[in-house]
Amino acid sequence: MAEEPKTITAEQKAFYDENGYLLLEKFVSDAWMDRLWDVTNRFVEESRTVTKSNIKFDVEPDHSADNPRLRRLSQPVEHDPVYKEFAFNGPIVDLAADLLGPDVKFHHSKLNFKWSGGGEEVKWHQDIQFWPHTNYSPLTIGLYMSDVDDEMGPMGVIPKSHDAELFDLYGKDGAWTGYIADDDIGRVPLQDVAWLKGPRGSVTVHNCRMVHGSEPNRSTRVRPLLLHTYSAADALTLEPSIVANRPLSNSIVRGERAKWARFDPRPCLMPPDWSKGYVSIFDVQQKDKDNAA
């Protein structure tokens, strides 16, 4: 028999299963938020030494030492023990166990900054085509590190889209775009969008098939969103290149390693070979703009 969830109610668990997302206001304590901010501020300082994107920092084209404009810190878990402790033992792991448990695997983490005064949009997409697995259990938990309102480009999700079509994220020329093409987006009920906003410490959860995205940050405040992806332990990755140099990916964070892999009969689009170079979704989606800049 399934265990009762510990961090959410049975209704919230049922809401996630039906709609593919959750928003939990002030889920993470102030003590945790202060610790995460301390390390994050250090990385923003360090980013001043960077002139263009690399595997650690993804920066906007006009990022500079005097005016840092970070898009993403990739794999925070690998850069500081506080981030690792949060990903492996923090309150979101209990939440992941409630939604996926009892056996839970960590896949990856990232910190999307969406800088003030225009921090970039994330076009409508689904995540699982970037890192296909044998089943569709993977989900991403996002932590808002500041209060987030409509102006700041909150995460937008299309309820129930996790149970609908899985889209082709390659463009007409056969190149990976990382977003749903204009010709296809008409099949997504964008009018149903739920914008997930909340005070500092709030968390968002979205399933890996969920259509989601976010607008540019038009406010004067940065919108850091710390994202962690977990899966049921019986979901095995079908494209190892994205985790090839990530020693912590595929760590079991709750329960046991799976004895049997579970296969969903629905097909999954395969991404390009990421070992040939991957920085972030911003880098992929904004390529034309960056190259023009």
Ligand X SMILES: O=C(O)CCC(=O)C(=O)O
- By the criterion CB under 6 A, which residues form the site for ligand X? 112, 114, 122, 127, 155, 212, 214, 225, 281
What is the smallest separation between the CB atom of 280 and ligand X, expressed in angstroms? Answer: 7
What is the smallest separation between the CB atom of 114 and ligand X, expressed in angstroms? Answer: 6
Q: How far apart are CA 277 and CA 265, in angstroms?
A: 30
Q: How far apart are CA 276 and CA 293, in angstroms?
A: 23
Residues 281/285/289/290 CA torsion (nearest 10 deg): 30
Q: How far apart are CA 151 and CA 160, in angstroms?
A: 25
**Contact (Cβ atoms closer than 8 angstroms) between residue 237 and residue 250:** yes
Residue 293 has which token pair? 């800049």
What is the smallest separation between the CB atom of 130 and ligand X, expressed in angstroms? Answer: 8
Q: Please, which residue, 107 or 114, has the CB nearer to ligand X? A: 114
Residues 6+ apart with CB under 8 A from 265: none
Residues 6+ apart with CB under 8 A from 186: none
What is the smallest separation between the CB atom of 178 and ligand X, expressed in angstroms? Answer: 9
What is the smallest separation between the CB atom of 66 and ligand X, expressed in angstroms? Answer: 25
Q: Please, which residue, 91 or 138, has the CB nearer to ligand X? A: 138
What is the smallest separation between the CB atom of 229 and ligand X, expressed in angstroms? Answer: 9
What is the smallest separation between the CB atom of 283 and ligand X, expressed in angstroms? Answer: 11
Pairing of strands 203-207, 21-24: antiparallel
Q: Please, which residue, 7 or 204, has the CB nearer to ligand X? A: 204
Residues 6+ apart with CB under 8 A from 77: 83, 84, 87, 88, 106, 109, 248
The structure tokens 């989900």 sit at 139
Give the HSE-up count for residue 78: Cα atoms under 13 Å, Cβ half-sphere: 18
Amino acid (one-letter) located at 202: S
202: exposed, middle or buried (C-beta count within 10 Å: 0-12, 13-18, 19+)? buried
Q: Please, which residue, 28 or 234, has the CB nearer to ligand X? A: 28
